[in-house]
Each structure stands twice: as structure tokens, then as C-alpha cells.
């Protein structure tokens, strides 16, 4: 671009216009083709423009430096905030965890005792010796037990009443005492493991087991006794336990009849099925398995193992037990008073033929092996 300028003077208004033009085009002076000597004031104008640009560049430099300084200050402040946040987080993590539900109390008695959720539960098995185990644990001065079966986790109508209702069924305890509840119906109840875990995932569980074939007969015997007391009709055990083997054309011949896997009392004796369900919610080391037959033969060793599992100091002694020859099992001695289990314990079993019993044992053999694998020990069962 070539521009012709005919006149220029320092006091001429055209000079001002030219100065403005030069200021605008100075970064692109190649666009102008003028002779500086032709215009005496042009040199001064160019110098003025360049001075203004230096001032502008200097101002921009200071602005950038100020912005960098501000960023450094903000970064330092952010580091301080992060350190304080980390310190507060570490302090919060170092605090002791809140007490588990088993130690939360509600009603307080005048003597300072309170009702707490159980720290240990005897979950089964039905007719396995749960009442005997509970009474024997109650010999320990640091243990208080719920006197009745609560059926909180296995009955919907009770579970819907909530934890406050459940806690209200527990005994009053002193600080440091362990609350124990037993409901043998929990073991085979499908929803009980999950519900118990939701109540307290750290609760300790005790499972007392016996020969599942003997347990089944004892289970039927109790049902039979209850029906007889209420003058209700009943079926013989063998009719409930065995099915006609129509597949092989056996008809009603008792020698060819097979075990009915749907019989409810038999279902309760499939220990591995129910134990696996509990293992889905609790680690194996949180479930203590008590040998029911060993507890009957000699209670003290089994009680000592239970004390260790519950982390209780050893307070139960062999002198707390004596064998009652009339009843045929051990009774308890505490504070100079003896106590035997009620008359329903140790009652004669309902009749079952030897052939049917052997058939039952054969049916249970594989199921028992699966249970042994789960618990990591074996039992001398039929």
C-alpha cells in the first residue's frame, strides 16, 4: 500500500491525523511508503508511538508478574488447606469406632443394669441341645441369657417389630457382661443369616449339632408329644419318613420304600445346606460348632471351648456339673444350688424300625460329609 502525504507540520491538524495513522500502522510499517525527511514532525511522532508501546509492554509485563504472584499465593494457601484436611481426616480415622449394636442400651434399671442386643446367639440346631448349652453358659458370672426363645430373625411378625422390641426381650446386664440369646429355629430359616448380620455383623454365633438321624427322631418325638397332649391325631414316623417306591414297582412293601427328601424334619437335618447360607454372611471363625454328643458325655471340655470362643475368662469349673444317674445326664451346680433340665429332655424316642433308621443313615451320609468339609472337622455319626 502506498500513501501520499502532501504536507505535515507539528502544529497542523493533519500531523495529528498522521500520528494516529502511524500509531495504528506502526506494527505494519511495511504498509506505509513515506519519506521521513519530507515530514519534519514524523520522526517525533514515531518515537512517541514507540515510547507508548514500551510503556504498554511494561504495564503488561507487570500485570503478568502480578498474576503469577497471585497464583503462587493461591497455591500456597491451597497446600495449607490440603494439609489441614489430611490432618483432620487422619484424626477422624484414629478415633475408636462407634460401639456395635450389641453394646447399645435402652432401658436402664435402678441398679445400673441395661438391656443390650445379644453379643452371642445360639442359632441351633433344633433338638441338638441348645437349652442345655444355654443353661451351662449361664453358669458364667459374665453371662446373662434371655430366658425364652425370641424368634426374632425367623418370624416376620417379630422381625417387623424392630430392634427396640428385640432388645426389650433381652435380660438386664452390667457393663462387661455378655448377653446371649438362643432360638434354634434360626439355623434353618432362610432369612435369618442376613437379618442377624444386619443387626450386628460382629455378633458371635454358636451352633450345637448332634447326629442328624438321631436329631430327626427327637424332632418327631417332640411334635408327637405335643399332639398327644392336645389330643390331636398323628402319623407314625415311618409313614412320614418313607415314600412308596413306585418307580421300581415296590408298592407298599416297606423293604423297597425310599426316604422322602421333602419331610420337614429331614430338611432340618441337612446341616450343610443351612450352614452354607450362614457362611454367606459370616466368616467361619465367627461360628463356633459345639459337639452335642460330647456335651452330654462330659460338659466341661465343651464349655471351656465355648468360653475361649466368647473371649470369657475361665470361670466354669468341672465342679459345676454332676451326673444324675436317675435322669441319665449331667445336672448343674451353681452357688450351692443344683439344677437339672426339665422333664422333656431325655424323653424316650418315638419308635422307628432298625431298617428304616439304617436307610435314613445311608441317605444322610453324603450330606454329612459335605457338612464336615464346611466346618473342617468330622463327627462320629451313623
Point out the annotated binding site for 3'-phosphoadenylyl sulfate: 127-131, 210, 218, 330, 345-349
Locate cell 423297597: which residue? 256
In angstroms, rounded to a whole number, what is the distance separating the alpha carbons of residues 209 and 184? 11
CB 30 within 8 A of CB 22: no
The answer to whether 281 and 203 have CB atoms below 8 angstroms apart is no
Bridge-based pairing of strands 337-339 and 329-334 is antiparallel
Residue 152 CA to its chain's centroid (Å): 18
173-176 contact pairs (CB < 8 A, 24+)? 173/113, 173/114, 173/115, 173/116, 173/144, 174/112, 174/113, 176/142
Distance of CA 37 to the CA centre of its chain: 95
182 part of the active site: no
- Cell triple for residue 247? 418307580
Contacts of 215 (CB under 8 A, 6+ apart): 125, 126, 127, 128, 209, 268, 269
Name the residue with cell 437339672: 340
Binding residues: 127-131, 210, 218, 330, 345-349
Is residue 333 a contact partner of residue 322, using CB atoms and an 8 Å limit? yes
Please choose, from the candidates 364, 382, 327, the residue with its C-alpha nearest in 3D space to the C-alpha of residue 132.
Answer: 327
Q: Which of 127, 264, 359, 369 is catalytic?
A: 127
Distance between CA atoms of residues 320 and 143, nearest Å: 15
374 to 171, 207, 292: CA distances (angstroms)? 33, 13, 18
**26: DSSP letter:** G
Q: From CA 202, how far away is CA 101, in angstroms rounded? A: 9
Nearest CA to 333 out of 95, 127, 136 is that of 136
Active-site residue list: 127
Amino acid at each position: 500500500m502506498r500513501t501520499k502525504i502532501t504536507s505535515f507540520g507539528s502544529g497542523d491538524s493533519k500531523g495529528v491525523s498522521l500520528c494516529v495513522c502511524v500509531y495504528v500502522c506502526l506494527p505494519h510499517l511495511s504498509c506505509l511508503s513515506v519519506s521521513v525527511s519530507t515530514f519534519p514532525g514524523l520522526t517525533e511522532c514515531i518515537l512517541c508511538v514507540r515510547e507508548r508501546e514500551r510503556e504498554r509492554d511494561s504495564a503488561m509485563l507487570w500485570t503478568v508478574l502480578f498474576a503469577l504472584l497471585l497464583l503462587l499465593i493461591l497455591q500456597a494457601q491451597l497446600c495449607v488447606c490440603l494439609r489441614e484436611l489430611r490432618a483432620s481426616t487422619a484424626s477422624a480415622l484414629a478415633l475408636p469406632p462407634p460401639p456395635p449394636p450389641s453394646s447399645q442400651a435402652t432401658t436402664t434399671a435402678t441398679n445400673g443394669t441395661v438391656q443390650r442386643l445379644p453379643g452371642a446367639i445360639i442359632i441351633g440346631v433344633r433338638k441338638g441341645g441348645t437349652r442345655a448349652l444355654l443353661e451351662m453358659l449361664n453358669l458364667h458370672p459374665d453371662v446373662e441369657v434371655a430366658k425364652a426363645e425370641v424368634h426374632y430373625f425367623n418370624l416376620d411378625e417379630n422381625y417387623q417389630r424392630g430392634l427396640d422390641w428385640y432388645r426389650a426381650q433381652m435380660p438386664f446386664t452390667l457393663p462387661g457382661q455378655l448377653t446371649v440369646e438362643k432360638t434354634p429355629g434360626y439355623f434353618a430359616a432362610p432369612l435369618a443369616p442376613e437379618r442377624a448380620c444386619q443387626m450386628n455383623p460382629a455378633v458371635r454365633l454358636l451352633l450345637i449339632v448332634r447326629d442328624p438321624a438321631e436329631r430327626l427322631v427327637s424332632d418327631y418325638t417332640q411334635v408327637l408329644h405335643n399332639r398327644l397332649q392336645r389330643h390331636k391325631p398323628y402319623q407314625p414316623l415311618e409313614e412320614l419318613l418313607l415314600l412308596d417306591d413306585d418307580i421300581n414297582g415296590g408298592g407298599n412293601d416297606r423293604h423297597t420304600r425310599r426316604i422322602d427328601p421333602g419331610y420337614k424334619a429331614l430338611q432340618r437335618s441337612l446341616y450343610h445346606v443351612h450352614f452354607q447360607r450362614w457362611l454367606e454372611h459370616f466368616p467361619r471363625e465367627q461360628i463356633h460348632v459345639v459337639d452335642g454328643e460330647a456335651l452330654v458325655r462330659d460338659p466341661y471340655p465343651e464349655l471351656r471351648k465355648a468360653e475361649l470362643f466368647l473371649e470369657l475368662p475361665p470361670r466354669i469349673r468341672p465342679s459345676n456339673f454332676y451326673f444324675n444317674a436317675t435322669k441319665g445326664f449331667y445336672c448343674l451346680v451353681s452357688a450351692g444350688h443344683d439344677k437339672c433340665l426339665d422333664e422333656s429332655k431325655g424323653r424316650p424316642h418315638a419308635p422307628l424300625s432298625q431298617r428304616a433308621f439304617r436307610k435314613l443313615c445311608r441317605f444322610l451320609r453324603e450330606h454329612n460329609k459335605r457338612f464336615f468339609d464346611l466346618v473342617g472337622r468330622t463327627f462320629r455319626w451313623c
